Structure 1
């Protein structure tokens, strides 16, 4: 009858102190995570994109390529919307300046990979970045769904960058935003010692060791299997490097379910039911329609 209200957290703490309950933490303690760091610059590049709103209320998306070993921000740029084409373009810009990495690490967003796309067709197709990486022998790594800490370095960088941007005069255009991003990246790479880097700057860490390179043994050797059906005109479609191609099979095979065995540019089309080899070709990436010869 004292009208005293006790917070549930206080009750829980008292019960814990007297051994009446067993704590069951909902989150894993930070000490349980295994910290990973690439041993060389260019061994692994992490990438991700984040949203940032302009003073006008317009939304933008900022993509980052970050060296895992040194935390060097290799490329950071703002766009109205990030697409698979922009991801590939920014990657190529970055490799032109810093050389090619041995591997990349991203989440499973569709602009980075189509591995988790619905159905067999999505699982066995490649977007522009995936095709480019395979062509140059660069290993592509993707985080396990539900484990965001895998790409923690680039996500932490984006958080730091956005906190810095919020303390600046709000940009009104995407060009203004890019100027502020450039300023932050310059300071971050060259002027800000990083505690996890032994109080060195990312630029110092990046230049301290030789650079890793793609493994030539993985060049163009990734194979895929694709399940499809020949359409009523005798054609199957196939996406390579982000571009759709039409492969002529022939009207006699219309509506036939097929298996496409793909090894780089080499393609074999097999009848699912009989196992008959219907067509074998070397894809010409410059041509949309691959004519039956």
Structure 2
């Protein structure tokens, strides 16, 4: 700006010719004549640098879209949902509006003071994420704690499809036990089919592999083995292996915090049904290219267990052992009596039936009390005798 003024002053007051001024200040003669023209037209203001801003911005985000981006942020946040740029873009597309780039949406939110950049976070390009290639190729499972409005602590058990992040099952209980894990797993499988594998931590409700070889397999492990479902367990003290479901728990708890606090398990389970609907069908996932888990789950053929026994019919029932140490079970229209043992009388048990096989499980611990080959021609059903090899394994 000062240089432009000096060029003009050197011509007007210093009596330099335009050619001399151009040579002295190291500019072209054309530029000197342009400055002289501006000075004659507008005085000293005419030699100031002109704005380089374009007269129009054809790429500028429409005001209707910008307003919707700003209004979406509090709407999604109030619902306990993710309100980032990519999620906003998905909702704009669903509403039929023009969808700017995620970077543009982030810039609009940042300009309005609705988001703050966090440069300390690792860039997404540095992530190395494992993902199953098919739905039902692997289900991740874990449970987390939640507090009712009454102050009571409860536990929420979840099954999450690794490929699509589809929420297979989400239920709240006073306490998650081994038999309950199996029951919820079978109920989910009845609806969605059996997975090819499962991934959990090393909690006793999922596996006894760290129990020092005492007690043998629990009911969940035995059922997976019988069905040909591969059981995978994370390394001890390494929760990153189950990273997807750990991250899911954050989303779940954030959503529950926004809702009216549930006073009872019944109310909480109703809330969880609603959450599953929102999570699976109304919430696009960043890792799924803005698709919802439901869209991703239905887009690809589902994997199945390698063992044909996965087609076996399963049912689960709960009961109490009678004073004679037996439990009754209706099979092929007849009432059979399974001998468990008087030492377990009046204890709560879970009975798992798989076609002609039955397993009685102690509800409180998950211990297998007996296995039976059902025979409708006999009223009393004795336990299967363990082979010497199995007896050694369980000792």
Q: Which bracket does the TM-score occupy, shorter chain normalised?
A: 0.5 to 0.7
Q: Is the 8 A contact 2:227 2:308 kept in 1?
A: no
Task: State how far apart, in whole Å, the 1-side matches of 2:125 and 2:192 are.
Answer: 34
2:48 is matched with which residue?
none
Q: Is the 8 A contact 2:196 2:305 kept in 1?
A: yes
Indicate the SS of the match to 1:115.
Answer: coil
2:270 is matched with which residue?
179
Task: State how far apart, in whole Å, the 1-side matches of 2:174 and 2:130 are.
Answer: 33
String of CA shifts for 1:209-242, please: whole Å, max 9, x gaps: 10000012898xxxxxxxxxxxxxxxxxxx9864
Q: How does 1:1-293 map to 2 (within 5 A)?
A: 34-117=128-211, 119-122=212-215, 125-216=216-307, 242-245=367-370, 267-268=387-388
Relative to structure 1, the CA distance from residue 270 to residue 95 in structure 2 (aligned partners, 3 Å threshold; closer, same or farther) is closer
Report the alpha carbon displacement of residue 243 of structure 1 after superposing the two structures with TM.
1.8
Task: State how far apart, in whole Å, the 1-side matches of 2:299 and 2:123 are.
Answer: 33
Any gaps of 5 or more consecutive residues in structure 2?
1-121, 311-358, 362-366, 372-383
Higher strand share: 1
Indicate the SS of the match to 2:203.
Answer: coil
String of CA shifts for 1:83-133, please: whole Å, max 9, x gaps: 00100000000000000000000000000000001x3325xx111100100
Relative to structure 1, the CA distance from residue 271 to residue 99 in structure 2 (aligned partners, 3 Å threshold; closer, same or farther) is closer
Q: Is the 8 A contact 1:44 1:69 kept in 2?
A: yes
Task: State how far apart, in whole Å, the 2-side matches of 1:270 and 1:51 are.
Answer: 37
> Normalising to structure 2: TM-score of the pair?
0.49
> Normalising to structure 1: TM-score of the pair?
0.65
Indicate the SS of the match to 2:291.
Answer: coil
Relative to structure 1, the CA distance from residue 136 to residue 170 in structure 2 (aligned partners, 3 Å threshold; closer, same or farther) is same
Task: State how far apart, in whole Å, the 2-side matches of 1:205 and 1:218 are.
Answer: 27
Relative to structure 1, the CA distance from residue 121 to residue 31 in structure 2 (aligned partners, 3 Å threshold; closer, same or farther) is farther
String of CA shifts for 1:63-93, please: whole Å, max 9, x gaps: 0000000000000000000000100000000
String of CA shifts for 1:231-282, please: whole Å, max 9, x gaps: xxxxxxxx98642249xxxxxxxxxxxxxxxxx996225999xxxxxxxxxx
Task: Say what the alpha-carbon RMSD is for the aligned residues.
Answer: 2.8
Higher helix share: 2
Task: State how far apart, in whole Å, the 2-side matches of 1:65 and 1:173 are.
Answer: 22
Relative to structure 1, the CA distance from residue 270 to residue 110 in structure 2 (aligned partners, 3 Å threshold; closer, same or farther) is closer
Relative to structure 1, the CA distance from residue 147 to residue 135 in structure 2 (aligned partners, 3 Å threshold; closer, same or farther) is same
Task: State how far apart, in whole Å, the 2-side matches of 1:116 and 1:270 are.
Answer: 19
Q: Is the 8 A contact 1:127 1:240 kept in 2?
A: no
Number of residue pairs aligned between Structure 1 and Structure 2: 206
